């Protein structure tokens, strides 16, 4: 089935984006450990000494734009749930600060290594774009590492137009795409 909004073949993946819950703690921490081996944070803003319930409250507050930590922006942070299994996550930033404008974009997503190459990233992005539009974001900035051809291909499938490539302070080059 083709998505009427984006003109992209909709995945057969029965994935649901939803808020993280109390019962997700063990699996979310496992995912965080898995992706940290790739130097990629799964749980944004999570602090190891913080109780899980407090972290979930911070995510809920941030979604509403309440008590947003300096340097961060209001954002919707959701788990990617596939038949009850936490397979990934997405962060949909409601606005951009200087760093996000250059390197992070409106949407950042991750798929756990064991669930890659199954159409999950495509489905996460498809749903995230719908949520972003619901937040009033009509032009969405997405970034990926310059050498991440899989992510670049997914973004391009959704109409992403490459604007430029910028280099982060750590030397990592980022491709910057706009989806209008």
Give the residue numbers spanning the domain of 120.
15-179
Helix (H) and strand (E) counts in the chain: 5, 7
In a domain, 60, yes or no: yes
- Per the confidence metrics, is the pTM higher than 0.85? yes
Q: What is the pLDDT of residues 35-76, one digit of tens each?
A: 999 989 999 999 999 999 999 999 999 999 999 999 999 999
Please report the sign of the dihedral spanned by the C-alpha atoms of residue 101, residue 104, residue 109, residue 115: positive
In a domain, 5, yes or no: no
Count of the separate structural domains present in the chain: 1
Beta bridge partners, 20, equal: none
> What's the 3-state SS for 12-38?
CCCEEEEECCHHHHHHHHHHHHHHHCC
Given this model, what pLDDT does residue 11 score? 52
Which CATH number does the domain housing residue 162 bear?
A: 3.40.630.30
Given this model, what pLDDT does residue 2 score? 47
In a domain, 7, yes or no: no
In a domain, 145, yes or no: yes
Beta bridge partners, 111, equal: 88
């Amino acid at each position: 089935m083709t998505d009427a909004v984006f003109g992209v073949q909709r995945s057969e993946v029965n994935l649901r984006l939803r808020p993280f819950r109390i019962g997700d703690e063990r699996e979310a921490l496992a995912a965080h450990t898995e992706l940290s081996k790739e130097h990629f944070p799964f749980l944004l803003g999570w602090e190891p000494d913080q109780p899980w319930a407090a972290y979930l409250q911070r995510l809920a507050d941030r979604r509403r734009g309440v008590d947003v930590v300096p340097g961060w922006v209001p954002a919707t942070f959701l788990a990617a749930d596939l038949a009850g299994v936490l397979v990934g996550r997405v962060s949909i930033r409601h606005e951009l600060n200087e760093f996000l404008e250059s390197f992070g974009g409106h949407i950042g997503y991750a798929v756990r290594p064991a669930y890659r190459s199954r159409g999950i990233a495509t489905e996460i992005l498809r749903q995230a774009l719908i949520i972003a539009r619901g937040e009033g974001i009509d032009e969405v900035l997405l970034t990926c590492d310059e050498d991440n051809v899989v992510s670049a291909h997914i973004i391009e499938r959704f109409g992403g137009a490459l604007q430029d490539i910028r280099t982060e302070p750590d030397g990592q080059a980022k491709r910057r795409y706009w989806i209008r």
